[in-house]
């Protein structure tokens, strides 16, 4: 277990995505993932793009919108226990830079994937459905909303 | 991927279905809208306008640097007990206490086993001062641990035959840090309505849902537990995510009564509720060998998740502790706020604690003497007709309240205060009324005089106490010209 200390934050989940160089790191990691997929011999370019998109979106969805709480012990008396990571960012304030970045990034990725798959309907359906999964929960209207009580407690 | 010619792009866009272009258009617009939206930086402070600044400056009213004696400024409102001037104590508060230069028999402070001024404890304390100095210079995790701390922790755990102890510098901090380190938001805590103030603070700090049951009422607790079980069955997903706790005291400091721990611990096992017992008063005061309520009621200690205790009440030292299984107690070493962020117990007091435990272990008759005194005092006090005595016969804490209220709470308080002063001045016996922050307390009990029995009292001294109380009550309660006395206030 990691104990919290030193940075004056009850819960580091609130702020670690605001760190300097985070956007660059995020983009580089996704690029590296894409280059790795491209280097696999039997994957064509459209498949590599769709896979990049799928992998990025599933990781984004699981870590920002499914997992709740924090991996360490925050001194907040369990405030974060029922909040997803996305809801913890910046204490839930909407339209901050980090939130904008994390919303726009999958959209740009979707544009790229659509372009490189030449707007193929099968690729489009996969890319678009996963895009909805990562963009809709990020809308301010869905803050702390659990559809049908899924993942509520 | 890399050979993108203009022709390729053109071809792709031509081939793109119309719905796709529309969708991309919408997404693109949204991105633009997001980017153009006013940036909110949560860490940046909004600068105040000149007008706002002026407003704050105009409203600023400096407080006097020196306390001007007006308690409404400093104290908590509605807390009249803090206004009572009981005098200034000189020297140790042992069997006798010196207030403003006069020596009184002491029944006001907690010193059940008479260990204040016990020579062997004083010797050990002196030895510790010579060896370690007076302070420990840091929290336990930050250069504040000295070997006597570890020895005392081990001694307490061994004394109670449990695995591990976490030692706190102050017993109020022990229980009020321990509760919030386990119970968090959304959890449920069942607590007795008359738990002491430290527990109440802990309950508030935990941010959990608190359900109070009636004082020592097992049936009421069962009712609440059944309600919780019903709610859990209706929403099993939620039930899985919450924890349930029960907090009781061994001997309640506010009423002097003993908790029916056997029944409560069985209920907690049945309903899968974790049980915390505060033994601030009962540790070292009750049970055949002073091992507290668990020994007295013969409750297996494994069924209790932790026991918190105090070295301040019976043991003549200072500090508090939480003792239980390693699995439970070890958690506090990183999340008990009073443990992590407060300087550790001064080593000399830890040394005093070790010595006090040694004395209890080697002389079980000390406990017997204390219990004889408690029982004797209880019997004698109950012969007084004007007082209601609250407290188990074996409890060293006894509360005497007026059997018949004289109007309002304020009047009763004034009368009891008069009685306490009368006893003090005429019989040279110090008794006191317990002080509460009345606005902050969960429940208010009738005002009372608190008698703290200790082992060193002789039978004839206790007789004197009771006689003095009787006389004082006769004098005070027959006096017709007490302020507020003739006109009882309407509020009860």
- Separation between Cα atoms, residue A78 and residue A99, nearest integer Å: 23
Which residue is listed with tokens 């659990």?
A146
Contact B221, B228 (CB under 8 A): no
Question: Among B426, B446, B427, B428, which Cα is nearest to B436's?
Answer: B446
Report which of residues B412 and B3 the model is more confident about.
B412
Is A108 an interface residue toward B (CB < 8 Å)? yes
Q: Which of A13, A152, A17, A21 is nearest to A91 (CA)?
A: A13
Residue (of A36, A58, A31, A32) closest to A112 by Cα position? A31
Q: Is A121 on the interface with B (CB under 8 A)?
A: yes
CB-based contact B1 A78, cutoff 8 Å: no
A150 touches B at CB < 8 Å: no
Higher pLDDT, B382 or B73: B382
Contact B184 A78 (CB under 8 A): yes
CA-to-CA distance for B129 and B134, rounded, in angstroms? 6
Q: Do B37 and A100 touch (CB under 8 A)?
A: yes
**pLDDT class for B254, splitting at 50, 70, 90?**
very high
Q: What distance in Å separates residue A153's CA from the closest CA in chain B?
A: 6
- Lowest mean pLDDT: which of A50-59, B34-43, B197-206? B34-43
Interchain contact, B12 vs A119, CB within 8 Å? yes
Residue B43: per-residue pLDDT: 65
Among partner residues A81, A121, A152, which is closest to B184 by beta-carbon distance? A81
Confidence of residue B15 (pLDDT cuts 50, 70, 90): confident
User: Which comes out higher in pLDDT, residue A146 or B16?
Assistant: A146
The pLDDT score that the predictor gives to residue A14 is 87
Nearest CA among A24, A36, A151, A141 for reference residue A94: A141
CA angle at B206 for the pair B200 and B212, rounded to the nearest 5°: 45
| A119 vs B17, B31, B240: nearest CB | B17
Closest CA to A97 of A36, A15, A42: A15
Q: CA A14, CA A89: separation in Å to the nearest integer?
A: 4
pLDDT (tens digit, 9 = 90+) per residue, B169-211? Answer: 999 999 999 999 999 999 999 999 999 999 999 999 999 999 9
Q: Which two tokens stand for residue B21?
A: 């272009």
Dihedral sign for Cα atoms in the order B18, B23, B26, B32 = negative
Nearest chain A residue to B30 by CA distance is: A104
B321 within 8 A of B309, measured Cβ to Cβ: yes
Question: What is d(CA B357, CA B202) in angstroms, rounded to the nearest whole number?
Answer: 27
Could you tell me if B206 and B190 are in contact, meaning their C-beta atoms sit under 8 angstroms apart? no
Is residue A111 less than 8 Å (CB to CB) from chain B? Answer: yes
Chain B neighbours among A 51-80 (CB < 8 Å)? 73, 75, 77-79
Average of per-residue pLDDT across A78-86? 91
Walk across the sheet containing B89-90 and list its strands: B89-90, B96-99, B102-106, B429-430
Q: How far apart are CA B35 and CA A107, in angstroms?
A: 13
CB contact under 8 A, A77 and B43: no
pLDDT in tens, B118-174: 999 999 999 999 999 998 889 998 899 999 999 999 999 999 999 999 999 999 999
Q: Note whether B222 and B230 are within 8 A (CB).
A: no
Tokens of B482: 């007490």
Put simply, the answer to whether A95 touches B34 (Cβ < 8 Å) is: yes
pLDDT for residue B408: 85
> Given this model, what pLDDT does residue B481 score?
56
Tell me which residue in A78, A118, A153 faces B237 most closely, judged by beta carbons. A153
Can you tell me whether residue A8 is helix, strand or coil?
coil
**Interface size between A and B, measured as CB pairs under 8 A:** 83
Q: Secondary structure of chain B in the HEC alphabet?
A: CCCCCHHHHHHHHHHCCHHHHHHHHHHHHHHHHHHHCCCECCCCCCCCCHHHHHHHHHHCCCCCCCCCCCHHHHCCCCCHHHHCCCCCEECCCCCEEEECCEEEEECCCCCCCCCCCCHHHHHHHHHHHHHHCCCCCCECCCCCCCHHHHHHHHHHHHHCCCCEEEEECCHHHHHHHHHHHHCCCCCEEEEECCCCHHHHHHHHHHCCEEEEECCCCHHHHHHHHHHHHHHHHHCHHHHHHCCEEEEEECECCCCCCECCHHHHHHHHHHHCCEEEEEECCCCCCCCCCCCCHHHHCCCCHHHCCEEEEECCCCCCCCCEEEEECHHHHCCHHHHCHHHHCCECCCHHHHHHHHHHHHHHHHCCHHHHHHHHHHHHHHHHHHCCCCEEEECCCCCCEEEEEECCCCCCHHHHHHHHHHHHHHHHHHHCEECECCCCCCCCCCCCCCCEEEEECCCCCCHHHHHHHHHHHHHHHHHHHHCCCCCCCCCCCCCC
Average model confidence (pLDDT) across chain A: 90
Phi, psi of B269 (to 5 degrees): -65, -45
The four Cα atoms B249, B250, B255, B256 give a dihedral, to 10 degrees, of -160
Classify the C-alpha dihedral B199-A80-B165-B116 as positive or negative. negative
**B122/B90 Cα distance (integer angstroms):** 18
| CA atoms of B249 and B216, how far apart (whole Å) | 10
The C-alpha R_g of chain B, in whole angstroms, comes to 30
B102 strand-pairing partners: B99
Residue ranges and CATH numbers for the domains of chain B are 82-111+365-476 (3.90.1150.10), 119-362 (3.40.640.10)
What average pLDDT score do residues B451-465 get?
94
The pLDDT confidence band at residue A9, using thresholds 50, 70 and 90, is confident
Give the per-residue pLDDT at B207: 94
| A122 reaches B (C-beta below 8 A) | no
Confidence of residue B5 (pLDDT cuts 50, 70, 90): low
The residue-averaged pLDDT of A126-133 equals 95
The DSSP result for A28-96, as a single string, is: HHHHHHHHHHHHSTT--HHHHHHHHHHHHHHHHHIIIII-BS-SS--SSTTGGGGSBHHHHGGGG-SSB
Contacts of B242 in chain A (CB under 8 A): 153
Report the predicted TM-score, pTM, of the whole model to 2 decimal places: 0.86
The answer to whether the beta carbons of residues A2 and A78 sit under 8 Å apart is: no
The token pair at B258 is: 């003993």
Which of B12, B23, B237 has its CB closest to that of A115? B12
Query: Chain B contacts of A108, Cβ < 8 Å?
Result: 31
- Using a CB–CB cut-off of 8 Å, the residues of B that contact A are 1, 12, 15-17, 20, 23-24, 27-28, 30-31, 34-35, 37-43, 180, 184-187, 205-207, 237-238, 240-242, 334-335, 337
Question: Distance between CA B79 and CA B67 in Å, rounded?
Answer: 17
Partner-chain contact A79 B37, CB within 8 Å: no
Share of chain A above pLDDT 70, in %: 95
Least confident of B59-73, B146-160, B223-237: B59-73
Per-residue confidence (pLDDT) for residue B44, from 0 to 100: 67
Instruction: Say if the Cβ atoms of B39 and A96 lie within 8 Å.
Output: yes
**H or E stretch at A145:** none
The per-residue pLDDT of chain B, averaged, comes to 89
Using DSSP's 3-state secondary structure scheme, residue A144 falls into: coil
For B234, counting Cβ atoms within 10 Å of its Cβ (0-12 exposed, 13-18 middle, 19+ buried), the class is: exposed
Interface test with B, best of A36, A111, A119 (most B CBs within 10 A): A119
pLDDT at B72: 47
Cβ-based neighbours of B58, under 8 Å, separated by 6 or more: none
8-state DSSP, A4: P
What is the reported pLDDT for B7? Answer: 75
| ipTM confidence | 0.86
- Could you tell me what percent of chain B has a pLDDT over 90? 72
DSSP annotation of A98 reads H
In the block, residue with structure tokens 């008359």: B194
């Amino acid at each position: 277990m990691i104990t919290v200390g030193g940075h004056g934050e009850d819960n580091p989940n609130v702020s670690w995505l605001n760190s300097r160089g985070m956007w660059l790191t995020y983009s580089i990691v996704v690029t590296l993932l894409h280059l790795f997929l491209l280097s696999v011999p039997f994957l064509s370019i459209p498949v590599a793009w769709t896979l990049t998109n799928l992998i990025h979106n599933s990781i984004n969805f699981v870590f920002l919108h499914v997992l709740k709480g924090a991996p360490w012990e925050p001194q907040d008396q369990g405030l974060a226990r029922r909040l997803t990571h996305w809801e913890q960012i910046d204490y839930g304030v909407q339209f901050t830079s980090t939130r904008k970045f994390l919303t726009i990034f999958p959209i740009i990725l979707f544009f790229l994937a659509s372009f490189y798959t030449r707007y193929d309907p099968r690729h489009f359906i996969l890319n678009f459905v996963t895009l909805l999964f990562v963009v809709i929960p990020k809308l301010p209207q869905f803050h702390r909303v659990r559809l049908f009580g899924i993942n509520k407690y | 991927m890399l050979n993108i010619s203009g022709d390729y792009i053109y071809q792709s866009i031509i081939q793109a279905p119309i719905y796709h272009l529309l969708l991309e258009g919408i997404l693109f617009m949204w991105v633009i809208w997001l980017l153009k939206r006013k940036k909110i930086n949560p860490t940046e402070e909004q600068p105040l306008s000149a007008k706002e600044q002026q407003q704050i400056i105009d409203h600023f009213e400096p407080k006097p640097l020196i306390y001007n004696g007006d308690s409404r400024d400093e104290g908590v409102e509605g807390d009249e007990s803090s206004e009572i001037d009981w005098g200034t104590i000189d020297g140790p508060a042992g069997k006798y206490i010196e207030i403003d230069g006069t020596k009184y028999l002491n029944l006001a402070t907690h010193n059940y086993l008479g260990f204040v001024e016990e020579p062997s404890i004083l010797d050990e304390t002196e030895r510790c001062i010579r060896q370690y100095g007076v302070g420990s210079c840091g929290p336990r995790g930050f250069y504040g641990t000295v070997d006597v701390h570890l020895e005392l922790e081990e001694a307490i755990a061994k004394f109670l035959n449990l695995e591990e102890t976490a030692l706190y510098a102050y017993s109020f901090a022990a229980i009020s840090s321990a509760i919030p380190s386990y119970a968090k938001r959304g959890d449920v805590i069942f607590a007795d309505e008359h738990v002491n103030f430290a527990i109440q603070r802990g309950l508030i700090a935990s941010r959990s849902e608190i359900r109070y049951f009636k004082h020592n009422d097992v049936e009421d607790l069962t009712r609440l537990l059944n309600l919780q079980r019903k709610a859990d069955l209706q929403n099993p997903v939620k039930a899985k995510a919450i924890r349930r706790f029960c907090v009781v005291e061994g001997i309640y400091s506010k009423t002097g009564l003993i908790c029916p721990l056997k029944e409560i611990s069985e209920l907690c096992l049945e309903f899968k509720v974790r049980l915390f017992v505060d033994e601030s008063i009962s540790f070292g005061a009750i049970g055949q060998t002073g091992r507290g309520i668990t020994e007295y009621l013969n409750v297996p200690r494994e069924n209790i998740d932790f026991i918190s205790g105090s070295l301040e009440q019976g043991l003549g030292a200072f500090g508090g502790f939480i003792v239980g299984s390693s699995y439970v107690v070890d958690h506090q070493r990183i999340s008990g706020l009073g443990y992590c962020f407060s300087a550790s117990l001064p080593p000399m007091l830890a040394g005093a604690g070790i010595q006090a435990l040694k004395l209890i272990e080697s002389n079980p008759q000390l406990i017997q003497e204390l219990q004889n005194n408690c029982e004797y005092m209880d019997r004698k006090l109950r012969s007084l007709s004007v007082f209601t005595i609250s407290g188990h016969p074996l409890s060293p804490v006894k509360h005497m309240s007026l059997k018949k209220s004289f109007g309002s709470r304020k009047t009763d308080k004034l009368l009891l205060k008069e009685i306490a002063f009368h006893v003090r001045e005429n019989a040279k016996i110090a008794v006191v009324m317990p002080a509460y922050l009345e606005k902050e307390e969960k429940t208010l009990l009738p005002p009372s005089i608190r008698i703290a029995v200790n082992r060193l009292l002789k039978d004839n001294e206790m007789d004197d106490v009771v006689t003095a109380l009787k006389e004082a009550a006769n004098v005070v309660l027959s006096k017709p010209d007490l302020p507020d006395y003739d006109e009882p206030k309407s509020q009860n």
